[in-house]
Amino acid sequence: MKIPPVKGTRDFYPQDMAVRNWIIDGWKQASIRNGFEEYDGPIFEYLKMFQIKSGDEIAEQLFSLTDRGGRELALRPEMTPSLARMVNQRINSLPRPIKWLSVPRLFRAERPQKGRLREFFQWNIDIIGVDDVLADAEVIFCALDYLRGVGLRPNDIVVKISSRKLLAALLKRIGIAEERLDSLYIVLDKKDKLPLETFRQMLSEQVPDVEIADKIQTFMETQAVCDISRVVEPDSEIEQATNELIELFDWLDRMGVGTYCKFDPGIVRGLAYYTGIVYEIYDKASLLRAIGGGGRYDNLLRDFGGPSIPATGFAIGDCVLGILLEEKGLIKPELQKLDYFVVYVEEAYKEAAVKLTMKLRSAGQRADFSYKSTKLSKQLKEASYREAKKCVIIGEEYKSNKLAIKDMATGQQELIELAHFFVDKQNPSETGG
């Protein structure tokens, strides 16, 4: 009986797994050198936890399940609710700022498309407890520290940055009622994702007043932070939000990543919970979906039953990023080469070959041998296929306690005493390493 994998999931054969590990290890290393600590939560949580932030509708985009006790659960579609729950649980004992990273496996019950799967990995970093735009800058720096570390340059990617605080202040200033903001954000978020006509149609449904709708559009096409005052006479809220953006760009310049960043008021982020700086990272040609995005969410912990503590963070998935890195030829997974492949000239030496292989492994070396006592040339070919750095050849000389060591790169071969062979090898079994 042959059963296929489920659509929208991936099988990671060793070559695919090497790429996945290379991406995830890169995320972790960048986060750690930026001072973040890794955490994780469970794969499933109570369904209602995911509805707090995203409303009941989210249930349709989730894989939900019911346990034997009739509890409604769901596979996590994002990490932030678990983060909020975990931080709230220990809010009094966790030293601040909390700088955490996570690389959760996430699930969305959507139709699979290019760059969008039903199961994927996502890099999350968050700084909790810092009410300073410097923290937003640090989070963006960390994302770019990884992205430029793998070789992406300012002509490959761009971080489009805006401010939810600015957008809210501006919309209120031109006459939109506070309670209509959340539904308007969802429309504005679609501006660059829809044909212009469709967007205009949707906007006019939300904002029938043509003059106001035009002002919104003008704002969303503003090219520079200093041009905002041309759209509308700033009030103190708009000024504060504008100054925050200016400060953010100053920090990004000082950090050496300013060339990757650009003000773009078209960045809204659909979710209601953002409260300040927001941004999305795109390939420069804008041919792909967003690589990632984030922003400030100062009310999230409170919404999850905790205290009101400022927070900022981002998320980058592995699917769009993987496509971009592949296109740019930047995927360079680390090869797990064998240190030694042990070959033997005839069946009589198989026992010696196995013993030697196991002794090498016990000493922390990557070693393997051939199960088949085939011709030496064939075993050497296997060694070559396995990308072994060196071959140990067990033959006639073994009777006089000697081994031939062949360097697979140079082809050079030398004869050494068995007793000397292990002298320089560390022994993790003895040291507990």
Site for a second copy in 303-362 (CB under 8 A): 303-306, 330, 332, 336, 338, 351, 354-355, 358-359, 361-362
> Residue 74 — φ and ψ, nearest 5°?
-150, 145
The set of residues, in sequence order, having a beta carbon less than 8 Å from that of 431 and lying 6+ positions away, is: none
Q: Based on CB atoms, which residue is closest to a second copy, 225 or 301? A: 301
CB of residue 140 vs a second copy: minimum separation in angstroms?
Answer: 11
Residue 373 interacts with a second copy (CB under 8 A)?
no
Please identify which residue in 23, 27, 54, 73 interacts with a second copy, judged by CB under 8 A: 73
Other C-beta atoms within 10 Å of 14: how many? 7
- Answer yes or no: are the C-beta atoms of 166 and 228 closer than 8 Å: yes
Task: Give the closest residue to 158 by CA, choosing from 221, 226, 228, 252.
Answer: 252
Binding segment toward a second copy, per CB under 8 A, in 15-23, 166-174, 271-279, 316-324: 15-23
Q: What residues between 231 and 260 interact with a second copy by CB under 8 A? A: 251, 254-256
Q: Based on CB atoms, which residue is closest to a second copy, 8 or 234? A: 8
Residue 289 interacts with a second copy (CB under 8 A)?
no
Other C-beta atoms within 10 Å of 285: how many? 12
Q: Give the H/E segment covering residue 263.
A: strand 261-263
Q: Based on CB atoms, which residue is closest to a second copy, 266 or 306? A: 306
Query: x/- site string to a second copy, residues 93 to 112, per CB under 8 A?
Result: --x-x-xx----x-x-x---
Q: Based on CB atoms, which residue is closest to a second copy, 180 or 372? A: 372
Q: Based on CB atoms, which residue is closest to a second copy, 132 or 298? A: 132
Q: Based on CB atoms, which residue is closest to a second copy, 355 or 420? A: 355
Q: Which two tokens stand for residue 344?
A: 């033997």
Q: What residues between 121 and 160 interact with a second copy by CB under 8 A? A: 130, 132, 134-135, 141, 145, 148-151
Other C-beta atoms within 10 Å of 48: how many? 12
Q: What residues between 383 and 402 interact with a second copy by CB under 8 A? A: 385-386
Q: Based on CB atoms, which residue is closest to a second copy, 199 or 251? A: 251
CB of residue 284 vs a second copy: minimum separation in angstroms?
Answer: 18
Residue 284 interacts with a second copy (CB under 8 A)?
no
CB of residue 233 vs a second copy: minimum separation in angstroms?
Answer: 32
Q: Which two tokens stand for residue 267?
A: 């960045």
CB of residue 323 vs a second copy: minimum separation in angstroms?
Answer: 18
Distance CA 335, CA 38 (A): 25
Q: What residues between 165 and 194 interact with a second copy by CB under 8 A? A: none
> Residue 304 — φ and ψ, nearest 5°?
-95, 25
Distance CA 86, CA 74 (A): 17
Distance CA 196, CA 190 (A): 10
Task: Give the closest residue to 277 by CA, choosing from 353, 166, 389, 148.
Answer: 166
What is the DSSP code (8-state) at residue 349? G
Q: What residues between 17 and 46 interact with a second copy by CB under 8 A? A: 17-18, 20-21, 32-35, 37-46
Q: Hey, CA dihedral for 223, 292, 328, 23, is it positive or negative?
A: positive
